[in-house]
Amino acid sequence: MKLIDPTLLRSQAYVNGEWIDAEGGETFDVVDPGTGEIVGRVADVGVVETRRAIEAADAALPAWRALTAKRRSDVLRHWYELLMANTEDLAQLMTHEMGKPINEARGEAAFGASFVEWFSEEARRAYGEIIPSHDPSKRMMVFKQPIGVVAAITPWNFPLAMITRKVAPALAAGCTTVVKPPEDAPLTALAAAELASRAGVPAGVFNLLPTSEPAPVGEELTTNPIVRKLSFTGSTATGKLLMAKAAGTVKNVSMELGGNAPFLVFDDADLDAAVAGAIASKYRNNGQTCICANRLYVQDSIYDEFSKKFAEAVAGLRVGPAIDESTTVGPLVNDKALQKVESLVDDALSKGANALTGGKRHALGRTYYEVTVLTDVTPEMRISAEEIFGPVAPLYRFSTEEEGVALANDTPYGLASYFFAGDIARIWRVSEGLEYGMVGANTGLISAVTSPFGGMKESGIGREGSHEGMAEYLETKFVCIGGI
């Protein structure tokens, strides 16, 4: 891996403005999933370093929250500019550490930076209000103040954007942060911390703790009373555990958890547009996104035609090394991910599903899996209930609009959903009927820095992005002044 700026390849934890080793000198390897090459060896911290980071964040909090909103905005703007100036190196890091195709990685680098830009602007808009008083001798006001020290735990599939989407609004609000990046992909996060330091983010305001043993670090972040807010992106099972631990000190929590996104194609849809939308949603990042299409429901009368068009288009996707410019689907992140995808497909095939294309490990070896389309999938198959997180699209049939919506909603999850239809009345009805925090109508791409990101039911609590993302890090304080 060659970087334009080799100093962005960091190997230590970042605590209180300093790069530090683990207390006992422990490290862990970061491995390129496509080649098996070790691309980094990173400090493996634990509870001692986590407490030190929390205390540093607490000590830095008074000065950071006392800064004017304009000053915090200026610092964040500088960080954004440095992220953009180093887009290529950030893309190289994430491609090598977690297998994202290089062109997608460049897109994520810019997307991650956009959150810093957006919240640098939102820093100036944390408005309060004056309430008309019921008593002429009193004045009533509402202030918006930073929550305090924020802990963030982020996933590997978007190693930059998932951090900036949490840290940028927290810093804009006047909070300080302690972040545990993913063990599979810490290098991009460490580079972002280096750029934050260069941008003038003060010591202790942004701390980063790489570890191969997330449980002890997570335990400290969720139970330490200094931490007043926890923001987590990851599986629903882990989120429930973290929420339970955070309850001991009644922390404010934001949870962006698992999904089981439906993708419905109605008989009045533009089939070519639906095929393109399904591919964009399903196979981006090799199907390793929490909002990618997980269950594709196609109305009976167009099922065969759509299946044929979709399988032909999917067969044209190029599986290959993530660093190659022509690659559209790279490797899965690790062996465990590969084994899960293989197990889900094998289970479906054994129970009567058919593979129109793909259906097995790729000839490239390592963690590569063929882009796959399955037909005749039924609710009894494991793939119907579990998040796939791989390049596999299972197709189901439905007959009526009511049945399609009911099937889409038949899950404990409610993060993202998609549908393609032509009739405007149907578009309104289905948009309102889907029990999901986000709905894409006639599009397979829905994420934007300006829009609220989050789910219903067991897919999470709270929203990220948009002006709502800033509100997650602000406390509402009411002040009543008497004797006027």
Q: What are phi and psi of 406, to 5 degrees?
A: -65, -40
The closest of 405, 391, 136, 149 to 252, measured between CA atoms, is: 149
Residue type, 119: F
Counting every residue written for the chain, the total comes to 484
Phi-psi category of residue 466: left, alpha or beta, with phi > 0 → left and psi -120 to 50 → alpha: left
Alpha-carbon gap, residue 371 to 30, rounded angstroms? 26
Taking CA atoms, 461 is separated from 252, 369, 412, 435, in Å, by: 10, 33, 14, 14
Phi-psi category of residue 324: left, alpha or beta, with phi > 0 → left and psi -120 to 50 → alpha: beta
Q: Do residues 161 and 119 touch, judged by C-beta distance below 8 A?
A: no
Alpha-carbon gap, residue 210 to 156, rounded angstroms? 12
Cα 236 off chain centre by? 13
Q: Where are the beta strands (DSSP E) in 126-212?
A: 129-131, 139-146, 149-153, 176-180, 206-208
Tokens of 67: 């800064």
- Which of 108, 220, 256, 472 is catalytic? The answer is 256
Residue pointed to by tokens 């925090």: 437
Taking CA atoms, 405 is separated from 56, 373, 398, 401, in Å, by: 49, 22, 9, 6
The verdict on whether 256 is a catalytic residue reads yes
Q: How much is the CA Rg of the chain, to the nearest whole Å?
A: 23
- Which of 104, 117, 175, 290 is catalytic? The answer is 290
Determine how β-strand 372-375 pairs with β-strand 261-265.
unpaired
By CB atoms closer than 10 A (0-12, 13-18, 19+), residue 54 is: buried
Taking CA atoms, 338 is separated from 124, 297, 343, 368, 392, in Å, by: 45, 25, 9, 8, 12
Write the DSSP symbol of residue 6.
G
The verdict on whether 480 is a catalytic residue reads no
Alpha-carbon gap, residue 265 to 418, rounded angstroms? 9
Complete edge-to-edge strand list for the sheet that includes strand 139-146 = 129-131, 139-146, 474-481
Query: Which residues have a catalytic role annotated?
Result: 256, 290
